[in-house]
Amino acid sequence: NAGVTQTPKFQVLKTGQSMTLQCAQDMNHEYMSWYRQDPGMGLRLIHYSVGAGITDQGEVPNGYNVSRSTTEDFPLRLLSAAPSQTSVYFCASSYVPGNTIYFGEGSWLTVV
Sketch the per residue contact string, 61 through 90, with other proteins: x for CB under 8 A, - otherwise: ---------------------------x-x
User: Segment contacting other proteins (CB under 8 A): 16-24, 30-38, 64-72, 77-85?
Assistant: 30-38
Among 12, 99, 110, 112, binds other proteins (CB under 8 A): 99
- Residue 27 binds to other proteins (criterion: CB under 8 A): no
Residue 30 CA to residue 26 CA, distance in Å, equals 11
- Residue 1 binds to other proteins (criterion: CB under 8 A): no
- Residue 100 binds to other proteins (criterion: CB under 8 A): yes
- Residue 28 binds to other proteins (criterion: CB under 8 A): no
| Concatenated DSSP letters of the chain | ---EEEE-SEEEE-TT--EEEEEEESS--SEEEEEEE-TTS--EEEEEEEETTEEEE-SS-TTEEE--SSSSB--EEESS--GGG-EEEEEEEESSTTS--EE---EEEEE-
Sites of contact with other proteins (CB under 8 A): 31, 33, 35, 40-45, 48, 50, 56, 58-59, 88, 90, 92, 96-103, 105-106, 108
